[in-house]
A = this chain, B = another copy of it.
Amino acid sequence: MQMADARAVRPVMLAVGGDSGSGKTTLTRGVVDALGPDLCVSVCLDDYHRFDRASRARLGFTVSHPDCNYLDIAEQHLQMLATGQPVLKPVYDHRTGTFGGMEYLQPRPFVIVEGLFPLFSPLSRACFDIKVMLDPPEELRRAWKIARDTTERGYTVEQVLDDLAAREADSAEFIRPQRRHADIVVRVTQDAGQDDQLSAEVLLRGTVPHPPLANILVDDPHSAMPLTIIRDSDGTPVDCLQVRGDAEPADIERVKQAIWDNIDRPQPLPISLGELRSGRRSETLAITQLLLLYHLLPKVDPS
């Protein structure tokens, strides 16, 4: 029995994991824009929820529990897409909390997958070329989630708070631990008193080769953008890039250009990087997006 079509082209697969409201969509939007929307196909794993909102309420299940999702089917579909095959997938409507019609999805050169569980199982993880986890402090994630769910998903503030409380145990047990399987862990923080001014700690694990930044950034915690070697939770040395929201524009540009120079692209640096939901920009977000683009696009031959 033949599973893969010999003519099928393997796409580049990006996983963006993170809890509800952690900024997955904001991060991937700029990435898709820079890659070219025509070359990308986006998959939100929320479409693989097993129950609609009403059934979940009745069953006392939260979507943050693996059993509340068809993770086996999501795995299948990720494998299909990774080997260049189309899938017929369900569609979950966040506004109504119900399932709509199905969607026939053919892979394109870039497949961007976001959701609560992309790094949960070995079979799912094996589908990705690059795995990212968003890990903002809980207070920030809660604020982001409240802002989104009350404006775009028809919830009241109270309902979102209830939802957060109901999901906390599952988040702690199933969502947050996926952090250890990511090649890149992004911890965005909000600068005190500065709306939309974001800083970030970006953990760059040795599971994939990252852009060579050590020659332009110094391992000095007092510098504007320190690149520090720290020990990962298992003791392995990893790079930690700190991007400060108040960094000098010139420093920011230097780092962005340094990453972009390693990517084999004729175009100048995409201007869509760094766009926030609010319409404003964050250079911290732009740098994070560039670090992902480095893994998705062909690299400059170092020789």
Residues of A that sit less than 8 Å from B by CB:
1-3, 50, 70, 72-73, 76, 79-80, 82-83, 85-88, 90, 99, 101-102, 104, 123, 126-127
Contact = CB atoms under 8 A, between A and B. Distances in A.
19 contacts: A1-B79, A1-B82, A1-B83, A1-B123, A1-B126, A1-B127, A2-B126, A3-B79, A50-B104, A70-B88, A70-B104, A72-B85, A72-B86, A73-B104, A76-B80, A88-B90, A99-B101, A99-B102, A102-B102
Nearest to A50: B104
B123 A102 contact: no
A82 B2 CA distance: 12
A157 to B, nearest CB: 31
B79 A85 contact: no
A98 to B, nearest CB: 9
A104 B68 CA distance: 13
B101 A88 contact: no
Contact of A76 (B85, B123, B126): B85
A88 B74 CA distance: 10
Nearest to A77: B88
Nearest to A91: B102
A102 B87 contact: no
Nearest to A85: B76
Contacts of A82: 1
A70 B88 CA distance: 8
Contacts of A101: 99
Nearest to A78: B1
Contacts of A85: 72, 76
A88 B104 contact: no
